[in-house]
Amino acid sequence: MKLELLKGKKILIVGFGQEGKASYAFLKQAVPSARLAVVDAKDGPLYLDTQKQYDIAIKSPGVAKHLISIPYTTPTNIFFGNTRGMIIGVTGSKGKSTTASLIYSILMAAGTRAHLVGNIGNPALSELGNETGTDDIYIYELSSYQLDDIAYCPHISVITNFFPEHMDYHGGLEAYWEAKKRIVVHAQTTDFLVFNPAYPRLRQLAKQTKAQAVPYVSQLPFNEDSIPLLGQHNKENVRGAATVGKIFRISDSVMERAVKDFHPLPHRLELVGEYRGISFYDDAISTTPESTMCAIQSFTSVGAICLGGQDRGYDFSELSRLIAQKNIPVIVLFPDSGNAIAKALERIGYRPVHLLVTSDMEEGVRFIYEHTPKGSVALLSTASPSYSIWKNFEEKGRLFQKFVKQYSDNV
């Protein structure tokens, strides 16, 4: 939405988290004639009762659109409608933060004026106020929440993968897919879609879009030994970033240097440390069975794994078979989905040597220290969202790391 359309309006900012606060600060400066007000779910169940007193709402991503009964726009649409720079939009069920960060690192190494915005960087509207001109390049991590009602298209859209996620918000797999593919619904022939061809839906979308469809490079233009990230899924993330680098005609040597210097993001197969012969890894970001399977396959010997969290009705059959195949001897299960994971393991007849059901991270870590074989990996990768016990995946990961270090000398 163009800023001119907001002049003199009574605007209600719905949701006052990071995005809402950035929207308020930006609009106060950019549209001084507008009259701004703020409401948030923390104000109570009736927080939206006054919305009809306003001309338009600015809806934060986490607020369901069916709750808004007046005309609305979003911080994402305001950014897209007013930037003069180039936008590289990155989405996918998993891997978008790492892929966006890798693209940013490659573009920075090439000397461009790049900005990392969205879920992994600063709120986009915070960066828009500092824009200097058309040379600015924004790498924008876009969630399905932000894409659900997007009215624009990035110049380059990147989709890392697709599998079930956020079913509670979207109401089903097809609605989730409809939101994801909106990243290219407004694409023109001058735009690009960079996609991972390993996923059938993405291959199909590549045939349907007006954008120039570019599959991930099949082979990296530099030695894979340069990659400081674990797992095949991270090699795919690097391939996606390198594909974008190719569009910008960035040299192989510059891309290799950027990847080699890349620091893994927190809570994404992050090595906490090796204590008492056990290597502890924090993969708190993995909140689906598919991403946890990728984490398990990144190691030759997983001796312990922490699983479970909010129950979104995921199918844990494939994950259970992989756990049995890898013969993981120590399992810690958290509620609520821990119960479903236990049943999935029972159905295939797999019984871990040591099993703990708990809602206490401290107890879980202590249990791991007591029973995990030396020389193996202890992995926090819960295959479920965090919200049944923890505020978010960051809190879950921080607690895991805290108790790993606290008990390293006390077991």
Look-up: residue for tokens 């599998």? Answer: 163
Q: Is 96 annotated as a binding residue?
A: yes
Distance CA 334, CA 358 (A): 5
Q: Where are the alpha helices (DSSP H) in 231-327?
A: 232-247, 252-260, 289-296, 317-326
Q: Is 92 annotated as a binding residue?
A: yes
Q: Which of 72, 80, 78, 68 is nearest to 27 (CA)?
A: 78
Residue 300 phi, psi dihedral angles, 5° rounding? -80, -30
Q: Is 143 annotated as a binding residue?
A: no
Q: How far is CA 20 from CA 14, 275, 309, in A?
A: 7, 42, 28
- CA-based radius of gyration for the chain: 22
DSSP symbol at 122: B
Query: 59, 112 in Cβ contact below 8 A?
Result: no
Q: Which of 8, 158, 188, 26 is nearest to 92 (CA)?
A: 158
Q: Is 97 annotated as a binding residue?
A: yes
Q: How far is CA 138 from CA 13, 164, 240, in A?
A: 24, 27, 16
Q: Is 364 annotated as a binding residue?
A: no
Distance CA 211, CA 193 (A): 6
Residue 263: burial class (beta carbons within 10 Å; 0-12, 13-18, 19+): exposed
Q: How many helices (H) and strands (E) does the chain have?
A: 15, 16
Q: Is 98 annotated as a binding residue?
A: yes
Q: Which residues pair with 117 in a beta bridge?
A: 122, 140
Q: Is 17 annotated as a binding residue?
A: no
Q: Which residues are annotated as a binding site?
A: 92-98
In the annotated binding site for ATP, the residues are 92-98
